[in-house]
Structure formats: C-alpha cells, structure tokens
C-alpha cells in the first residue's frame, strides 16, 4: 500500500483528473483529492463542491445519525429511492411559504404577472395588484386554490 507524500498530491491529482465530477457530474477547474477520514485512504479526484457535500453528509451521518460507516452507501441509495419514488399531490404549508418566497425573490414583476396569469389570474385581478406584496398575496391565494 503506497503512501502519497504532500509534495506528490498535486501531481497525483493532475494525473487522475476526471473529465467531469463523478458525484455532481459537473466540469470544473477546482479539483481536490478526496480521502476517507476514517481510513485515510485516497478515494479519488472530485470537485471541491462535491468534496464539501460528501464531507457534510458523512459527518452528519456518523455524528448525528450515529450510523455505521459501512451502511452509508445503503442509506444514500435508500434516500435516492425515497426522493424518486415518494411524491404526493399534497402541498405542505411550509411549501406554500417557500413557493411564495421564491415567487417574490427570483422573479421580476413581469415574470410574476406571467406566473399569475398561468395560475388563472384575470386581467382585473392583475390590475388590482399595485405592488409585489399584492402580487405575492394573489400568488398565495391562487396556489392554495389550485390544491384545494
């Protein structure tokens, strides 16, 4: 089992650069040499963002969940299946707040009007909205109505 000296890390990383990040599937110029914190063994070269995400997931799983490191891949597969398979048509109250916040923060006034029209707002309803707060109130009401 070879030991990689600090002086050779850059050379090893550059010799093993993937075409895109094996975790996030992104192209980047910010690569890091990832290693397992429990065994100290190199796993591979991944993007800095993936390395940060992986570290957070592993640390949370091991620390907060008190999970066994050997079962982390099984847990992540179960999580992926859950995200893919468990969907309902029920809008959560916090979900409505999040959608409304996103409506306010990431759309221009014209985009907000278009979104409201797509939700069924009449011309009169749109004309009554004189500011972004009124548009947000209308968005919230129309979205709730859509799910009732």
Model confidence over 46-99: pLDDT tens digits?
Answer: 999 999 999 999 999 999 999 888 999 999 999 999 999 999 989 999 999 999
What is the rounded CA–CA span in Å between residue 20 and residue 47?
8
The b/e string for 114-130 (b: 16+ C-beta within 10 A; e otherwise) is: ebbeeeebeeebeeebe
Triad 121, 127, 131: Cα angle to 5°: 100
Q: Could you state, in order of their start, the residue ranges of all structural domains in the chain? A: 6-67, 93-147
Using one digit for the tens of pLDDT, what is the confidence trace for 99-143?
A: 999 999 999 999 999 999 999 999 999 999 999 999 999 999 999
Provide the 10 A C-beta neighbour count for residue 58. 17
Helix 132-147 and helix 93-106: axis angle, to 10°? 140
User: What pLDDT is recorded for position 1?
Assistant: 73
Using one digit for the tens of pLDDT, what is the confidence trace for 12-51?
A: 999 999 999 999 999 999 999 999 988 899 999 999 999 9
**34 touches 43 (CB < 8 A):** yes
Q: What is the biggest distance separating any 2 CA atoms in the chain, rounded to whole angstroms?
A: 74
User: What pLDDT is recorded for position 67?
Assistant: 85
User: What pLDDT is recorded for position 140?
Assistant: 97
Residue 112's H or E segment, with its range, is helix 109-118
Q: Which CATH class is domain 6-67?
A: alpha beta
70 secondary structure, DSSP code: G
């Amino acid at each position: 089992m070879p030991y990689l000296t600090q002086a050779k890390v850059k050379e090893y990383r550059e010799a093993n650069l993937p075409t895109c990040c094996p975790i996030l599937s992104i192209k980047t110029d910010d690569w890091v040499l990832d290693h397992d914190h429990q065994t100290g063994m190199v796993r591979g070269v991944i993007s800095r963002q993936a390395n940060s995400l992986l570290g957070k997931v592993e640390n949370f799983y091991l620390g907060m969940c008190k999970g066994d490191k050997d079962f982390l891949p099984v847990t992540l597969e179960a999580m992926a299946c859950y995200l893919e398979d468990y969907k309902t048509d029920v809008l959560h109250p916090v979900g409505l707040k999040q959608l409304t916040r996103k409506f306010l923060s990431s759309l221009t006034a014209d985009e907000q009007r278009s979104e409201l029209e797509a939700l069924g707002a009449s011309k009169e309803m749109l004309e009554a909205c004189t500011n972004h707060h009124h548009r947000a109130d209308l968005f919230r009401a129309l979205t709730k109505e859509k799910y009732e």
